Structure 1
Amino acid sequence: MTNLFNLSGKTALITGGTHGLGLAMAEGLASAGAELIITSTTPSKLEEALIYFHSKNYKATGYIFDVTDEKEAAKQIEIIEEKHHKIDILVNNAGIIKRVLAVDMPVEDFRKVIDVDLVGPFIMAQLVVKGMIERKAGKIINICSMMSELGRENVSAYASAKGGLKMLTKSLATEWAKHNIQVNGIGPGYFATAQTAPIRVDGNPFNEFIISRTPEGRWGNPEDLAGTAIFLASEASNFINGQIIYVDGGILATLGKASNE
């Protein structure tokens, strides 16, 4: 049964896999045997990530390019496929968020978030899937969000992009399933990362809100995503397509606690 989750001989491309959740998912895939290809727009972060992966004896290579630049992305994918021969797994993780109330948000910023969080995954999937179609096999994992399902103040662009990414996932799965390609998504809940560190201190109202709102009563740890990433990248998920798995400690399953509990 464990062979179902074995990724030995597979090559996984993870966009934005240099830190946080992206790094944790990349490490999970590597622990299951996959060779890693990491992309970033920041050379220093890429170098740090590669040093970390190599310290774990994982096979990892890095490339610098912007996933929203279709011409440069196409050039880099051609180089990657020539050097590594194939891309078996694509994890569309690169993303940004701008926390601004909709009434105040510049349209330019709204477009930027859509470009990175929605158009970027489309560009990468379109480029990588050509080789997958030829081989009649492939796994594409889009990193969605609870904001693919819920709205919240000051994240209108992010929620719009992640909602769109959910539907892109379903559409691509429908189109490419006949080629034995599975396109699914992961929707992380609230996780303990460097970005959330300032608001995870005791006494912070948002920290208390998240803990009380989450049935498991805690923030997620980045490594909590590794198992889901391995599952969706492996043969264990061969008949699962167009689905979003929410790794959120149960938030989306509940209305929350009553105030008198």
Structure 2
Amino acid sequence: MSHNKETIGSIKKLLNSKPTADELVRWRQDQRIGVQKLLMQYDKQQEKKQHQQQAFEKRLIFEKQAWQQGAHLAGVDEVGRGPLAGPVVAAAVVIDESFDMTIVHDSKQLTEKTRLKLDQELREKVVDFAFGIVDAEQIDSLNIYEASRIAMRQAIEALHVPIDGLLIDAMTVDLPLPQEKLIKGDDRSISIGAASILAKNYRDALMKEFAVQYPGYGFEHNAGYGTAEHLAGLAKLGVTPIHRKTFSPVKKHLK
């Protein structure tokens, strides 16, 4: 049988590139266990890709509706509402029909490694992105909810491309633009999901810089959230200028 001349290694290579329909038919008739195992793996991967593609299409519904009308939307999300230290950071992201990163999802559902790996590609593939940052002092003088809205507004206003509307994760902002307030938006819209990834990476990088400036709180691991290490640092070293003084675990350490 001529196909037995093909080594399992060469079939594996071809399966990893784009096998033709003829090749797949031929290999499915190949009796070797190794070949059948490879085909099972291949079928599983294809199924996974198909599910990912379907989920991606589903999370593009809002953007697609806008594109059909010739409009472009910005997806907006913020990160850092809960920490005891550091700023709240928002990102605004605009994508178009060419955007094809099916892996993009709510940042909380991705590992840090995946999130960081996606960062550069995302920045290159989106039409535009921008950030808004509101520091701890402003958070204390406003409140975290208002500070988040201001960070979002800053991000939207920093975009370079004109937009016709906003998709926002569970909030609205003070801007005269049509807005869709989506509960669990980072899971329901690709552009909000992309914004959540960029905002998270940006804020984590800022907190790593603060960790050098203010060692002993574990900012490089905890991003300012109230972990045991962070609380121990507060008890031992006191409050830094980047701590949110209106947040109760910090408040009790104010001299």
- Shared fold per TM-score greater than 0.5: no
The structure that is helix-richer by fraction is 2
Who wins on radius of gyration, i.e. which is larger?
2
Task: Please give the TM-score of this superposition, normalised by the length of structure 1.
Answer: 0.25
